[in-house]
Homo-oligomer: A and B are copies of this chain.
Amino acid sequence: MEFRHVFVCVNQRPPGHPMGSCAEKGSRDIYAKLMESIQMDPELFMSVIVTPTGCLGPCGLGPTIVVYPDAVWYGNVRLEDVPEIVNSHLKGGKPVDRLVVSKGKPPGMF
């Protein structure tokens, strides 16, 4: 299994903030579920790390996740999507196309 580094935005803005935030939309639970999935699987434990981050940029598309070195950007991720990301992408090497909002640069970057 190839090494992958998963970054999950857990930025929290106050309720009512015009930008919203990934944490407001449930990203901390997504982070926790991803961590648990990796910790519980010996193969994933040896090849994947997950890191919580501050703002990744595309707040309107959050919860946002980016996976490197592939540079696959996921948006509008829900808690229920975590097993598919884990199995298809992190274990199988195949990104979950329906959740991909950009490859390479972040969505909306020049």
Query: Total interface residues on A, using CB and 8 Å?
Result: 23
Q: Identify which of B53, B71, B104, B105 contacts A7 (C-beta below 8 A).
A: B53
A69 touches B (CB below 8 Å): yes
Contacts of A101 in B (CB 8 A): none
Copies of this chain in its oligomeric complex:
2
Contacts of A70 in B (CB 8 A): 69
Q: Identify which of B3, B53, B71 contacts A51 (C-beta below 8 A).
A: B53
- For the complex formed, measure the closest distance between the CB of A56 and the CB atoms of chain B, giving whole angstroms: 6
The answer on a CB contact under 8 Å between B69 and A7 is no
Q: Which residues of chain A have a CB within 8 Å of any CB of chain B?
A: 3, 5, 7, 10, 46, 49, 51-57, 66, 68-71, 104-106, 109-110
